[in-house]
Chain A
Amino acid sequence: EAGVAQSPRYKIIEKRQSVAFWCNPISGHATLYWYQQILGQGPKLLIQFQNNGVVDDSQLPKDRFSAERLKGVDSTLKIQPAKLEDSAVYLCASSLGGTTRAGYNEQFFGPGTRLTVL
């Protein structure tokens, strides 16, 4: 079974430029997550999708970050314009479902995209 795919693996941009990351979840997984992991910190959830709807985007800086999951499969996370503090690893994860605690579904993570903003 193929895992979660992410691209690119690495990206270096100048501040104020735009950047986009792509994620393809495990086939059949309804829930998709984007996390930001700044150096020295644990991953922080940015946005959670259930199919093509947003479940939680409370920690997404909406003035510069946007994400979409058209057709409920793959997803794109965009930053426009980028700031120095956006340098981080962006992790995508997916799970079968699980928007209730009664039915927890394990999250499977992709390898991440390392973003450096100069």
Chain B
Amino acid sequence: AQSVTQPDIHITVSEGASLELRCNYSYGATPYLFWYVQSPGQGLQLLLKYFSGDTLVQGIKGFEAEFKRSQSSFNLRKPSVHWSDAAEHLCAVDGGYNKLIFGAGTRLAVHP
């Protein structure tokens, strides 16, 4: 069965520091992969997606993610975190027919 694992429940970084959030997936075919951000009281916003081609994808707000098939991973990175990045970050895989399967999320806190 398809699944997504985000090993880190909480991560705290200092503003200006680099960031990497981990995501591992289980899917039989070539996956469609996504990262969403969820701020309190707001809906999910798509940061970036991977369908095929270049394994390094760029998204909004300076985020990028790298698809590594050999490791079944799709880690999210940002070279310099801003205080406004503090939020819940959710990794997801398309389980077929536009059905999204989400990980449990990683809550990012940013220290000034």
* Contact between chains at B43 and A112 (CB < 8 Å): yes
Binding-face segment, A11-19, A77-85, A96-104: A96-104
The main secondary structure of chain A at its interface with chain B is: loop
Render A90-118 as a binary contact track against B, CB cut-off 8 A, 1 for contact. Answer: 01010100111100111111111000000
A-B contact count (CB 8 A): 62
Q: How far is the CA of A40 from the CA of B10 in the complex (A)?
A: 11
* Contact between chains at B99 and A45 (CB < 8 Å): yes
Residues of chain B within 8 A (CB-CB) of A101 are 32, 94, 96-97
Q: How far does the Cβ of B81 sit from chain A's closest Cβ, in whole Å?
A: 22
The answer, among B51, B98, B102, for a CB contact under 8 Å with A44, is B102
* Contact between chains at B92 and A42 (CB < 8 Å): yes
Render B19-46 as a binary contact track against A, CB cut-off 8 A, 1 for contact. Answer: 0000000000000100010000111111
* Contact between chains at A56 and B99 (CB < 8 Å): yes
Residues of chain B within 8 A (CB-CB) of A43 are 44, 90, 100, 102
* Contact between chains at A104 and B94 (CB < 8 Å): yes
Interface residue? B104 (CB, 8 A):
yes
Task: From known contacts A91-B43, A110-B43, infer whether A48 and B104 are also in contact, taking CB-CB under 8 Å.
Answer: no
